[in-house]
Structure 1
């Protein structure tokens, strides 16, 4: 994979504009693929999203839970190469794949950990680049070697063969950046995320899967449905995913712990799921917190006690409209 050596972290201050077109290999992300006659019905009985109604030009968030409603994986699901792909952090895939396969012996469905390359295309010109790769116009498009999936107005995911990835990068005039920039976009958009350390710790609503239309409350049964439905209709969920902002004088460790002020004391609030630190030491992160905290609660990093953090606004509502 020598072609990936040219990608480097982008040096961004918190006041800088983002590149109009950037591309990054998403090396910590991967996909589970599934094919077979029963792929739709089998997956429908496993995950929170409605697989049956997902058309070939759309993608959806979803979660896969254990019997108690705790999340093995949060993913983006889309049609891919005649089957489906579940795009998610690589660190989740081994356990997630084992859980998905548990009852597959009774169905005509095959799961695999894809060896395809994930490329993140970012910036105001991202859609123009994808338009040059495909004549299709949907939010999920077939391209040479795989699929292009719209994430938001500034981002597309390309899940393609390594040969196609190399060709796309070579022919593009995009800035070659590391996936840190993708992480920044994920944080700013409040993307539901999970990592291996927090598998089977949260129900889907605690990581805002319902807020991004990743839970269908009208579909049939699936693993963990009782807990997910109870959290909605009985108001039993007490946590949510938040964007937090502050400062950090040094790099932020993976799974760094955030503390909240309680009077004159500090108590553990939660471990970060993702973080981004700008060159001027401003920082952003995603963290699951109690959903009844005051908006002006004081927060800090446990290992950087001089830091000062606050809760920032999410780009979507956590209020239940139904």
Structure 2
């Protein structure tokens, strides 16, 4: 947790959580952090490290993106947005923020830019009927990945069919906005927001799964997080070969896990006890897991840690174009 939450962790209201689907909830996302990359070489540096096309990131358009090893395995998955010219913010799990900061600092030696963990910024999530927010309704972005940017405040619409929005804000903006938002919204738990993320089919990379997945395994090609037209970046050869020459044998599925919330990296097994995949993230009985595609088709799936719990495959909220080429299997 960054120092931002020392001042803003407690809601200013006592509204009870609401049960209706349209009820507004404010989620203090103490589980994420923001990195800042800024300087005249920021775009050039990031273009050589990240899977998305940085040239397409503007003050009105954000993107999911990944950073990979030379072998194409992800060391971080994050959302990136532009705060101002030559200044970009990356939102990612707080558990990997420091390791990713160290990773980026190894590569930026020859670039005129800085990479910093922002201690005076935080992220809140708003879910429910966003049009009923008097203080922000005119600024609510309406399409996936779009954003509204002002000094010290970024409003970002995540992909998916659920009505929700991320607010990235500094301490000054938090002092202005949070009291009113607390009075307009019921308090929502981090776990509730995590469930919305899972239901939206949005994966994540945690310390338990560092260097485990290539981007296509987490369906990033379906979420606009990979550019196959930009120039080279670290891991690009592996990612491109998979898309054009390989056959993707594993990908991320949405599963119902009843009341079980397995940790990232937990094993998924079939009826014989053979491992066929691993958990990406999970919340409140909903789980995203990377599975062998053949094993996910009609077979009994279970958690190794709870073999009596059967997992059911659910439909993701987006279409996936299968990566399957006959020339070569990777």
| TM class, shorter-length | 0.7 to 0.9
Shifted more, 207-216 versus 144-153: the winner is 144-153
Q: Residue in 1 aligned with 2:129? A: 124
Which residue of 265, 269, 281 corresponds with 1:260?
Answer: 269
CA distance, structure 2, for counterparts of residue 36 and residue 167 of structure 1: 28
Q: Structure 1: state its 5+ residue gaps.
A: 278-282
Partner in structure 1 of residue 327 of structure 2: none
Q: Is the 8 A contact 2:264 2:282 kept in 1?
A: no
CA distance in 1, matches of 2:95, 2:61: 25
Matched, 1:155 2:157: no
CA contact (8 A) 1:133 1:143 kept: no
* Offset, 1:18: 3.1
- For 1:96, the equivalent position in structure 2 comes to 100
Residue 274 in structure 1 maps to residue 277 in structure 2: no
Please state how far the C-alpha of 1:320 moved relative to its aligned partner: 4.7
Once residues 289 and 20 of structure 1 are traced to their aligned partners in structure 2, the CA distance between those partners, rounded to angstroms, is 35
Matched, 1:169 2:174: no
2-structure distance, mates of 1:256, 1:34: 29
- Paired position in structure 2 for 1:226: 237
Runs of 5+ consecutive residues of structure 2 not aligned to the other structure:
1-5, 325-330
Give the corresponding residue for 1:183. Answer: 194
Residue in 2 aligned with 1:280? none
Distance 2:296 2:75 in 1: 29
Deviations 1:250-281 (A, max 9, x none): x534237343324xx2222333222222xxxx
* Compared CA separation, residues 45 and 260, structure 1 to 2 (3 A): same
Contact 1:49 1:60 (C-alpha < 8 Å) held by counterparts:
yes
2:154 and 2:202 map into 1 onto residues whose CA distance is: 21
Q: Which residue in the other structure is 1:30 paired with? A: 33
Counterpart-to-counterpart distance in 2, 1:48 and 1:136? 24
Partner SS state of residue 78, structure 1: strand
**Map 1:242-257 → 2, pairs under 5 A:** 242-248=253-259, 252-255=261-264, 257=266
User: Taking structure 1 as reference, are residues 183 and 137 closer, same or farther at Cα in structure 2, changes over 3 Å only?
Assistant: closer
Shift in Å, 1:292: 2.5
Q: Report if the CA contact (8 A) 2:69-2:75 is conserved.
A: yes
* CA RMSD in angstroms, aligned pairs only: 2.7
Normalized against structure 2, the TM-score is what?
0.85
2:328 alignment partner in structure 1:
none
How far apart in 2 are the matches of 1:199 and 1:68? Answer: 13
Q: How far off is 1:80 after superposition? A: 1.3
Aligned residue for 1:247, secondary structure, equals coil
Task: Report the alpha carbon displacement of residue 114 of structure 1 after superposing the two structures with TM.
Answer: 1.5
Alignment partners' CA distance in 2, 1:126 and 1:244: 31
For 1:158 and 1:243, locate their aligned partners in 2 and report how far apart those are by CA, in whole Å.
26
**Length, aligned pairs only:** 309
Tell me how far apart the structure 2 counterparts of residues 215 and 315 of structure 1 sit (CA, whole Å): 19
Work out whether residues 158 and 166 of structure 2, in 8 Å CA contact, stay in contact via their aligned partners in 1: yes
C-alpha contact 1:126 1:155 (8 A) present in aligned 2: no
Measured in 2, the distance between the counterparts of 1:88 and 1:166 equals 23
- TM (norm. structure 1) is 0.87
| Deviation digits for residues 153-210 of structure 1 (CA, Å, limit 9, x no counterpart) | 5121111123422432310211111111111111111002111110111111111111
Q: 1:215 to 1:127 in 2, by over 3 A?
A: farther
Picking from 305, 308, 311, the partner of 1:309 is 311
Moved >6 Å (runs of 4+):
135-138
